[in-house]
Amino acid sequence: MTPDPTVATATRQAAALLVHFARADHEGFNAVVSEVSTGEQMRDLLLGVLGLFATVLPALMTPAGVGLVERMIADLARIEVGGPS
């Protein structure tokens, strides 16, 4: 089976988007988004993001992954407007 270049591009962009987001690199994030110029490319990028999510989801379903998500929820609740202090 020949790899699909469209899927490769979307997955690369999605991975780059995730890394830039994790590093709070707004310039890098915007650079990836600027590569997307059509509705079809945006769809492909979103499918790439969802594909990455499906790949990482099993790791989040472990005790360590659940603990990470719980800490994230608690941290976000502390900074939400009107959230618990």
| Tens place of pLDDT per residue across the chain (85 aa) | 677 888 888 889 999 998 999 899 999 999 999 999 899 999 999 999 998 888 888 888 899 988 988 998 888 888 876 655 5
pLDDT for the residue numbered 84:
56
CA–CA gap between residue 12 and residue 1 (Å, rounded): 19
Residues 58-68 pLDDT 10s: 888 899 988 98
Give the predicted TM-score (pTM) of the model.
0.67
Q: With 0-12 CB in 10 A as exposed, 13-18 as middle and 19+ as buried, what is 14? A: buried
